[in-house]
Every structure is written in structure tokens, then in C-alpha cells.
Structure 1
Amino acid sequence: MGSETVIVDEVPFSPKITVTKPLSLLGYGITDIEIHFLQIKHNAIGIYLEKEIIQHLRDWKGKKGSELAEDDLFFDAIVSAPVDKYIRIVTIKEIKGSQYGVQLESAVRDRLAAVDKYEEEEEEALEKASEFFQSKFFKKGSVISFYLPAASRTAEISFQTEGKEEAKIKVENPNVTEMIQKWYLGGTRSVSPSTVKSLADNLGEILAQ
């Protein structure tokens, strides 16, 4: 990864950002949806991580990106690594916020139910996150971000669109926070295979050094 801006479907991603610590762009890609047999590009995604994440991935040293992309345990290690993470999602195709909220709720609930962690507390936290998006409208260029600080196992969600003030919410349920990460960083179960491949390739390169 160089120090140049990365362009994902005309959307620029800075190579580094600082929330409370410097984070590096280590993965990027798109999500798409199928409408009437056409693949429509939906969002561009940038994954920012602390470089220290490499210390938690030493077991995979020497593996190629193509191998890592198929290894869900590798992505589980990324999710559980005690480092700050930041997921930046930029709208390519405009949709209602309620549609995104339903996608989020459904994806996270299914993942929680699969590991028998969907209790009342998780349901409440997930509903709160979904409701945050209900009244929003995702114009092209709108930005959703998930900031996942290592210290607290929470997720700070923000939404920005042209002409409106930034809106924020905090999800404090660690199980919901984990599955939001896995929605985007869940290896073969991720909503964005292109992001997973990019992350595997870039981390594989760093691990080979």
C-alpha cells in the first residue's frame, strides 16, 4: 500500500486517517445488489486498521492473499484483534436509509442467531442501530462510518450527507458490534468479496515482509 489516494469506482479514499490513532487503508472494494438480473454497484468501502494488527496475525505469515481470502479464521482474528478499526462506506447508488437499516438488521441478526447469541439485549441494540437509519436518505456520496475502538468493544456509527449535520449513535452491545464487523470483514461470509480479497492481498504482502 502506497501513500496515494485510492479510487474505488470514482470514490476517493485517503491512505490514512486519524480518529484517535493513525489508521491505514488496508482494504477496499464495493458492495453490489442484483436488480432484475443486473449487478448494481451499491457502496464503496474502505477498511482502516491500526498497523499493529499484524502482531495478531503472525500465524498466517507466508500465506498468499488468495489463501487468506478463503480462510475465515484469518478474518475472525482480524475482528477479534484488540486494535482500532474504522469502516468507511460511501454511497454509489442512492437508496432510502430504511433499506440499509433492514439490510444491517437482517445480516447481523442472522449471524447472531447462527451462534446462539441473539437475546433481548442484542435485539434492542440492533433495533436501535436499524432505527438510526430509518429517516435518512442516502444520496450519492453520502458517508456511513463505523468506528470500532479496541478499548471499549462498542461501535460508533455516523452518517453524513450533503447539506445536513452529521448524525451519530453508539452501539454498546459487544455481540452486535462483533457481527457488524463480520458483515463487512467476515471472510467468505462478507457482504463484499472484493473488500475481503483486497484486505487479504494487502495484509498478506505486509506479513511477507
Structure 2
Amino acid sequence: MATAATVVVAVCSSPHVINIQNINCSRHYSYPARISAHNLVINNNRSFGSSASDLLIRRWKGAERTKKEQPNGVWALPRAKATVGTEDFIVEPATNVKFLTSLNVPGGSSSLSLAGTGFREKKIAIISVKVYAAGLYVDTTIKSYLAAWSGKLGSQIEQDNLFFNAVFEAPVEKSLQIVLVRDIDGETFWGALDEALSPRLKTTGAAEQKALDIFRETFRGKSLKRGTTIYLNWLKSSIMLVSISSDGSPSVADATIDSPAVAFALFDVYFGSHPVSPPLKKSVASGLASII
């Protein structure tokens, strides 16, 4: 639960410093803020540039606004937001991967907005390592299909399977962006994905098997280096496009998965009852709750 606290901000000369290291500054200001588990926690030995501190203070001050106070169409993600040139992005804190707040995906017809971010861990021997960061993008018109949950908090809809089923079935484009944070070969990536995907398939007829074979072949023989971006784009509930790019900007789809069962099973991997990335599902629930 959020608690009242006094945040001490050291104001330095450079407007570009957002580095939580020990920086000696001569001026300090106290600012009352409400700090939750989702926000950065700062103490007396952490320093920020003046313009950066103003930005973070405004976000902390607004973090507890009710959904009615949120402007329509604006995602209220509890993450530090920064700007590079004219492009806004959200930083996934566990991996430091930057996700643009809006983008156009291969095969898509409109710009999509970031609903939430998270990361995937995989246990290797006895150690859990982060494999990739992920962010879900949706067409903001999705809110008209989620009106039944209007007024609900993210924590209330996070475990609501009907809500995420409605997200999947809404006839708007959705895209999961995956950014690798370690080198991995395509076969290993597919193996881990298939391990979670196959048990979720209710049927494995010829159509489903063909879709799985196409999916597998998309990754076969590929060396997926750190920074590789994978887009899983649901154009509608029955068709999904797969795009892979080593430079983070795929322009075409590498494969088309035409199977309602496989498309839903993959969505369920991330947003079902037992998601492979609980932080992603939690973040998306909060992001969607803020606009409905």
C-alpha cells in the first residue's frame, strides 16, 4: 500500500542526469510524495538533474490520481518515462529495455499504444536468468470493448480470465514485442515457447499442427543475439504474424500463423491463469484499467 513520505531531491546543474548514483549537490529540496512499490524509491544520497526531478515529481504526484482524472487515451504506466528526440519511451526496470509508447508493426494498419511491460525469466541449472523483456501494444479503441470493467482497478482485473479473454477477442490489433537481453539460438527460444504453448492447445488437429510447424520453422537455424526484436502481431483473433529483426525494426512479417487455437494459446501463455511473465500481465492489467 502506498505510504506518505518525504522525498529529498538533489538538484544538479545538468538537465540530463537521471543517474541514481552518489552525486554531491549543494542544494536539496523536500517534496511530499506518495511512493508505491511500482515507483522509484529515492533517498538522501540519490541525485537527479533539475528538469528530470521535476518530471519524476510530477509523475509521483499524479500516480495516485483516480481513473476519472486520467485523460482519455493516455496510458498510466507506473514507470519512469523519458524522451529521446520526439520519441517517448518507457523503461522496463528489471532489464532496462526501452519500449516506445507507440509504434507501427509489420502488417498492421494503425499505430498501437503500449499497455504494459514485463520480463521473462528462465531457470538454468539452479539460477533464474532474465531472457527477454516484453511489452504489449494495443489499438486504444479496445477500451470500447472493455466497458464492462470500467472503474475496476488493475489489481481487480489482473486475475480475471474473462477480462483477458475479452482483450484477446476484441476485434482490434494487438502486438507483443519481445526484446532479447541475452544471446540464444532459435531452436532454444522456440523450445521454451513451445513448452508453454503446446499444453494450452485444446486441439491438435492438422490445422494446428501446420501452424506449429510454420511457427517452428520461423526460428529454426536463427542466431538470436541480444537486442533481437520479435513481434507477435494478432491482426485478429484467428491470424497472427511473426516478425524477427536483429536491428529492432522489422519491416515485414516472416510468417503468418493462421490458426485461432494457436493464436489464443499463445496469448494465454502471457495473459492466462499461469502466465510465463507475471510482471507483464500485472503491468498490462494496470495500463488497461487506467483507460476504461
Residue 179 (structure 2) aligns with: 90
Residue 175 (structure 1) aligns with: 261
For 1:58 and 1:158, locate their aligned partners in 2 and report how far apart those are by CA, in whole Å: 31
Give the aligned residue type for 1:91.
L
Give the aligned residue type for 2:182.
K
In structure 1, which of residues 135, 156, 170 is the aligned counterpart of residue 221 of structure 2? Answer: 135
Q: Structure 2 length normalisation: TM-score?
A: 0.65
Deviation at 1:119, TM superposition (A): 1.1
1:103 match: secondary structure: helix
**2:234 equivalent to 1:148:** yes
Per-residue CA deviations over 1:124-150 (Å, capped at 9, x if unaligned) read 211220121011111110011111113
Contact 2:241 2:253 in 1 (8 A): no
For 1:83 and 1:189, locate their aligned partners in 2 and report how far apart those are by CA, in whole Å: 24
Deviation at 1:183, TM superposition (A): 1.6
Residue 203 (structure 1) aligns with: 288
The answer for unaligned runs of 5 or more in structure 2 is 1-74, 82-87
Contact 2:118 2:135 in 1 (8 A): yes
For 1:104 and 1:10, locate their aligned partners in 2 and report how far apart those are by CA, in whole Å: 23
For 1:126 and 1:104, locate their aligned partners in 2 and report how far apart those are by CA, in whole Å: 11
Contact 1:46 1:89 in 2 (8 A): yes
Aligned residues: 201
Contact 1:79 1:185 in 2 (8 A): no
Decide whether aligned partners of structure 1 residues 127 and 106 sit closer, same or farther in structure 2, where only a CA change above 3 A counts.
Answer: farther
2:195 match: secondary structure: helix
Residue 66 (structure 2) aligns with: none
Decide whether aligned partners of structure 1 residues 83 and 36 sit closer, same or farther in structure 2, where only a CA change above 3 A counts.
Answer: same
Q: Structure 1 length normalisation: TM-score?
A: 0.89
Deviation at 1:199, TM superposition (A): 0.6
Give the aligned residue type for 2:289.
G
The answer for unaligned runs of 5 or more in structure 1 is none
In structure 2, which of residues 178, 189, 205 is the aligned counterpart of residue 100 of structure 1? Answer: 189
The one of the two structures with greater contact order (alpha-carbon pairs below 8 A, sep at least 6) is 1
For 1:58 and 1:162, locate their aligned partners in 2 and report how far apart those are by CA, in whole Å: 38
Contact 2:89 2:98 in 1 (8 A): yes
Q: Percent identity?
A: 30
**2:57 equivalent to 1:7:** no
Write 1 or 2 for the structure with the bigger share of helix.
1
